[in-house]
Amino acid sequence: MKTKSVLLIIVTVFFTAVLSNKNFAQESIDQKAKMLDLKLQLLDSKLELLDSKIKIWESKPAELDIRLDEIDDKIKTLNFDPAGVNLKFLEVESMIQELKEVKIPVIMPVPAIQEQEIEFYKDYKSAIMLNPVSLFEGTFHLSYERLLTENFSVSISALATYATEEGIAQYFFANQSFAYLDKASNSYENYQGESIAGTGVVLKGKNYLMANYKTRNKAPLGLYAAPQLMYRRVWITGETMEYIIEDDEWVEKVIKQKLNIGSAGVILGTKIPVMKVLVVDIFVGGNIRLSKYDDVSGLTKYKKWYNIDYSGVFPTAGIGIGILK
């Protein structure tokens, strides 16, 4: 009985060991299979990376070939022959060598450089002007202007007047209305004028408005504003027919009037250079003028603005032509 029990125990232990070994072996095989699958997956990833690198390496030479073809096409479009250029250099060297042998100096052509003409602007300090419009009023109007600062000048003008029914001032003279005060009747009487003569002076202070701008003309040129004062002394000569009661006849009477004219005003003008030496002065403005005869108390009244003995406000305009110095 003891022997059978021992055998049964031994057989039981053997089968138990065999079964446990079988389970352990099965678990070991499963683990190895999983490890193998992981290694195969890593290998596939490495193969994919290798395939990508191979494709990149294959594409680089193709891009390089395309760039090289583009460069070749550009070189072909250029009219450049290296061999021809080298040949020209060799010809030039041979010619220079021949010239050295015959002792003829080599003169290299110097390209002509066109010099740009530089225009220099002269700084003028004075101007002498003549007013041609005044000639049609029988007045010779000559002025001298002197620059005191870079934008301010003083001008003084001399006036000399002589107008008659004939000559260049005949239109101005024909539109004048002459009248004298008859002391006997204390009334004004018209008479026929024969001549107007006199002298005068005009003073102006010109402020050049654009003188500080470098792109503009320097004074005495350009735009200016100027106050002005004028004084004239005029002699008017004429004649009329006067009835003498005692003699019962008409006799010719000579009329001589002395007229004083003073005016003040402001003008705006511009002086334009012509041919760098001549200058044209164009101006407009307004004045208030006061006229008075020596033998009459008070200023003249009821005169038209174009009369030489007009008193009141009137416009003025003119053109001057002169030279710069």
In sequence order, the 6+-apart residues with CB closer than 8 A to the CB of 202 are 141, 143, 155, 156, 157, 159, 228, 229, 230
Tokens at residue 122, please?
A: 């002269």
Predicted confidence at residue 79, as pLDDT, reads 57
Listed residue (230, 285, 240, 239) closest to 260, CA to CA: 230
Helices (H), the chain: 2-77, 82-101, 170-174
Residue 309's pLDDT band, with cuts at 50, 70 and 90, is very high
Rounded to two decimals, the pTM is 0.59
Predicted confidence at residue 118, as pLDDT, reads 44
Predicted confidence at residue 146, as pLDDT, reads 94
Q: Number of helices and strands (H, E) in the chain? A: 3, 10
Strands 278-293, 126-130: parallel, antiparallel or unpaired by DSSP? unpaired
Give the whole-number percent of the chain exceeding pLDDT 90: 39
Predicted confidence at residue 120, as pLDDT, reads 43
3-state secondary structure of 129: strand
pLDDT, tens only, 201-233:
999 999 998 876 655 567 788 899 999 999 999
Tokens at residue 39, please?
A: 């290694």
Q: Looking at per-residue confidence, does 323 or 243 come out higher?
A: 323
Tokens at residue 80, please?
A: 């450049």
pLDDT, tens only, 36-91:
777 787 777 778 777 777 777 666 666 767 776 776 776 666 555 666 667 776 77
For residue 272, pLDDT beyond 70: yes
For residue 240, pLDDT beyond 70: yes
